[in-house]
Amino acid sequence: MPRYNYECGLCGVCALYTLPMNTKPEKCISCDMTGSLNRSWGTHTITVLKTNLPEGEQPTGTITKEYIEENRKILEQQKNEAVSDEYEPS
């Protein structure tokens, strides 16, 4: 997705928004005012990733982190079981 710089006309914060083409951010990330953002061509200080997910759906990164944490716990449990088991010498 393309990235655009927007500057708030009220608080002066300039931020980089990642948005689908032909869309504009609704609110300023600093002061939460709507309708105060103007596209600018300068540097940015804050990066904002905006996604249009259906209600109740989580971003892929969040889901991936949850699976990693769940599997980390399972692996730790399996490791502890393996350490506690006694094996016969072969």
pTM (2 d.p.): 0.44
Tokens of 54: 């259906």
Q: What is the mean pLDDT of residues 43-67?
A: 69
15, exposed or middle or buried, with CB in 10 Å at 0-12, 13-18, 19+? buried
Q: What is the pLDDT of residue 3?
A: 82
Q: What is the pLDDT of residue 68?
A: 92
